[in-house]
Structure 1
Amino acid sequence: MNARALLCSPNLHSLYTSNRPPEKPTSSRSLRTLKPAPNSLRVWIYPRNRSGVFRVLVRSSDKRESSNSYYVDGERVNRTNGVVSDSPSSIVVPWWEEFPKRWVIVLLCFSAFLLCNMDRVNMSIAILPMSAEYGWNPATVGLIQSSFFWGYLLTQIAGGIWADTVGGKRVLGFGVIWWSIATILTPVAAKLGLPYLLVVRAFMGVGEGVAMPAMNNILSKWVPVQERSRSLALVYSGMYLGSVTGLAFSPFLIHQFGWPSVFYSFGSLGTVWLTLWLTKAESSPLEDPTLLPEERKLIVDNCASKEPVKSIPWRLILSKPPVWALISCHFCHNWGTFILLTWMPTYYHQVLKFNLMESGLLSVFPWMTMAISANAGGWIADTLVSRGFSVTNVRKIMQTIGFLGPAFFLTQLKHIDSPTMAVLCMACSQGTDAFSQSGLYSNHQDIAPRYSGVLLGLSNTAGVLAGVLGTAATGHILQHGSWDDVFTISVGLYLVGTVVWNLFSTGEKIID
């Protein structure tokens, strides 16, 4: 707790006790500033990593001894009408202590999702030398790529229930360390044999499967409604930048140190993140003792998710048409997105004839475009809401762009012969796809804020099914058909999703 939070606390008197520690000699500077007075109160507090002593001059009922100032560690802080005010002589608070704690949580979630996709997409690059070394055909490659989604599918709903009941901090921390260990074990499993590799990849999916529900639960408690689209867009852009980082560095690491180095180096970063997470994050503002009172009030007054969940009203949730619209549209959206996530380097290598290094580096551009457009879309959506547009209309507009944009650009690929134009078309497809972060991905907290973790688990289960089926089906389609067939199926599902979303979705709270 810093000095400003201490002075603003309504329970300041509770910090003073008769069994305080003995007074230690003070500096000459403090002695000159703080004169002994009968109404002087000394308060000792002990934060986690350091101790500090604040000397506070309190107002007395005796007018002759009353004061309109506090002295904190020898610095004067003025008080007017019971409120501590800033002045040139007031204590200087470092910028990192004034940085909003809710955005610290958002940035930590952003970094978790950065690691999430770094550890996921490295296989899409490493699979090329691995398949050459072990003699895997396209069907086997598709099986390996889809095995991640077996575990990912299992923990979507379970992760949502767990996050909504025990708190998102524990669940997200578990997920990151679990998938990091599985990433490190991937080369060992590949050398042991294909069944071991499939199991380890599924285990990795178990860890990443709880990440989205846990994050959604945390942000529903920490982020005010008027900042929702921007915060979610920033967190999800971590996934895109994770893809950028993974696709950019994987070819270099493979070329210099061999394909196992990708898994060892990326997986080890999870321990660094976990250390920061355990020391800086809390599941809700009510559990954070370092949160400033003014920020706590802002969050509590503007967040819909306040009370902890004790039971899940499954029948009520599943009886709402907007919930089913969310589930079905998540399936339609993820079919195309996961195909591009896992197969894009292979497309560049087989169709556009780029080598391994070029395939990895050129795969960066679509994901970089997504990171930029996701944040732009979040800012646009929050601006529209703040200017009086209904949340329902904003969500429909953003998701329609997220469906029709990729559909249009994927249809153009069959008419393009230039590799440069094909890469540009891919980038535009993924860029418009990212507007979905301000559409269906923000909608869980709109319609059921208290159950946002469970609801995201439900809809993302459908999305993962699309990933499993689409990734595996692509391998079989390429054995008997062409990439045009792969893209045609994705376009069809985008169009279906557009119709369903605009007919049945809503941005209003339907489950309290």
Structure 2
Amino acid sequence: SSFLWGYIFSSVIGGALVDRYGGKRVLAWGVLLWSLATLLTPLAANHSTIALLAIRAFFGLAEGVALPSMSTLLSRWFPNNERATAFGISMAGFHIGNVYNVNLKQAAWFSAVPWATMAISGYLAGTASDFLINAGYPTTFVRKFMQTIGFIGPAVTLICLNYANTPTMAATLLTAALSLSSFSQAGFMLNIQDIAPQYAGTLHGISNSAGTLAAIISTIGTGDQVL
């Protein structure tokens, strides 16, 4: 996706800008620019494929500052024992936005269900994380516990997906995998804010770029395998 090519470059730079100038200012510019890209997308699509790819890359470039900005703002606005819930609510907004963007006239309902369940499970992971910290469990233990669920849960369900013999079963397992992956929101994503809150934007940008690189490689690899 051309979106990812723009996204990977702005995450680290955007994170550094966030740490220097603050999340509100950088995020405001990001929202302005990706809104402009959204408005220009139909025009670009009508013009040419190259124009569409370029505007999608610009979209990704603008949106790359979103998560680093959010990470920095949350690290400054919320104490350690409330941060996971706040992060879960914030990420739920992203997931619900994806639900809203699904065209149900052209896609089945299960195209929207995974995003909805991720919003719910991410929030539940956040509240559970804060509950454990307030109950006296060490922050490091709680972060590792949530991240373990976020890693092992999807791994197990994706292995089971290989043996699904109906579309309904496959959709259910895929939804479960995505839902369990949202526990990472209360894991490594918050650990960044725990260990270096003053550099939360930069660190989140670095980790985000690494994840985006994996997405680019997997997209290309999947295309080669399908073709």
TM-score (normalised: structure 2): 0.96
Map 1:57-72 onto structure 2 (within 5 A). none
Map 1:183-222 onto structure 2 (within 5 A). 183-222=38-77
Map 1:483-498 onto structure 2 (within 5 A). none
One-letter amino acid of the structure 1 residue matched with residue 176 of structure 2: C
Q: Distance in 2 between matches of 1:427 and 1:251?
A: 17
One-letter amino acid of the structure 2 residue matched with residue 237 of structure 1: A
2:94 corresponds to: 239
Q: Report the alpha carbon displacement of residue 223 of structure 1 after superposing the two structures with TM.
A: 1.1
Q: Report the alpha carbon displacement of residue 152 of structure 1 after superposing the two structures with TM.
A: 0.5
Map 1:382-393 onto structure 2 (within 5 A). 382-393=130-141
1:412 corresponds to: 160
Question: Do residues 442 (structure 1) and 182 (structure 2) align?
Answer: no
One-letter amino acid of the structure 2 residue matched with residue 155 of structure 1: S
One-letter amino acid of the structure 1 residue matched with residue 83 of structure 2: R
Q: Distance in 1 between matches of 2:77 and 2:197?
A: 12
SS in 1 for 2:165: coil
1:181 corresponds to: 36
Q: Distance in 1 between matches of 2:119 and 2:126?
A: 11
Seen in structure 2, the aligned counterparts of structure 1 residues 199 and 209 have a Cα distance that, compared at 3 Å, is same
1:380 corresponds to: 128
Q: Distance in 2 between matches of 1:466 and 1:240?
A: 20
Map 1:451-490 onto structure 2 (within 5 A). 451-479=199-227
Cα offsets for 1:377-398 (capped at 9, x unmatched): 1111111111111111111111
1:426 corresponds to: 174
1 or 2, which has the higher strand percentage?
A: 1
Q: Distance in 2 between matches of 1:367 and 1:230?
A: 18
Q: Report the alpha carbon displacement of residue 191 of structure 1 after superposing the two structures with TM.
A: 2.1
Q: Report the alpha carbon displacement of residue 357 of structure 1 after superposing the two structures with TM.
A: 3.4
Q: Distance in 2 between matches of 1:431 and 1:370?
A: 4
Q: Distance in 1 between matches of 2:42 and 2:159?
A: 37
Cα offsets for 1:158-185 (capped at 9, x unmatched): 1111111111111111111111111121
1:169 corresponds to: 24
Cα offsets for 1:364-421 (capped at 9, x unmatched): 1111111111111111111111111111111111111101111111111221121111
2:143 corresponds to: 395
Q: Distance in 2 between matches of 1:414 and 1:394?
A: 31
Q: Report the alpha carbon displacement of residue 186 of structure 1 after superposing the two structures with TM.
A: 1.4
Q: Report the alpha carbon displacement of residue 190 of structure 1 after superposing the two structures with TM.
A: 1.9
Q: Distance in 1 between matches of 2:107 and 2:196?
A: 45
Aligned sequence identity (%): 44
Q: Distance in 1 between matches of 2:77 and 2:141?
A: 24
Q: Distance in 1 between matches of 2:25 and 2:187?
A: 28
Cα offsets for 1:210-266 (capped at 9, x unmatched): 11111111111111111011111111111111111111xx244xxxxxxxxxxxxxx
Please, what is the CA RMSD of the aligned residues? 1.2
Q: Distance in 2 between matches of 1:154 and 1:195?
A: 19
SS in 1 for 2:82: helix
Q: Distance in 2 between matches of 1:222 and 1:411?
A: 39
One-letter amino acid of the structure 2 residue matched with residue 472 of structure 1: I
| Consecutive aligned runs of 4 or more in structure 1 exceeding 4 Å deviation | none
5+ residue gaps, structure 2, are none
Map 1:98-177 onto structure 2 (within 5 A). 146-177=1-32
Map 1:313-352 onto structure 2 (within 5 A). none
Q: Distance in 1 between matches of 2:225 and 2:34?
A: 30
- Counting matched residue pairs gives 227
Q: Distance in 1 between matches of 2:205 and 2:147?
A: 19
Q: Distance in 2 between matches of 1:390 and 1:357?
A: 44
Q: Distance in 2 between matches of 1:472 and 1:180?
A: 27
Q: Report the alpha carbon displacement of residue 472 of structure 1 after superposing the two structures with TM.
A: 2.3
5+ residue gaps, structure 1, are 1-145, 253-355, 480-512
1 or 2, which has the higher helix percentage?
A: 2
Map 1:244-323 onto structure 2 (within 5 A). 244-247=99-102, 250-252=103-105
1:260 corresponds to: none
Q: Distance in 2 between matches of 1:371 and 1:436?
A: 13
Question: Do residues 357 (structure 1) and 107 (structure 2) align?
Answer: yes
1:27 corresponds to: none
TM-score (normalised: structure 1): 0.43
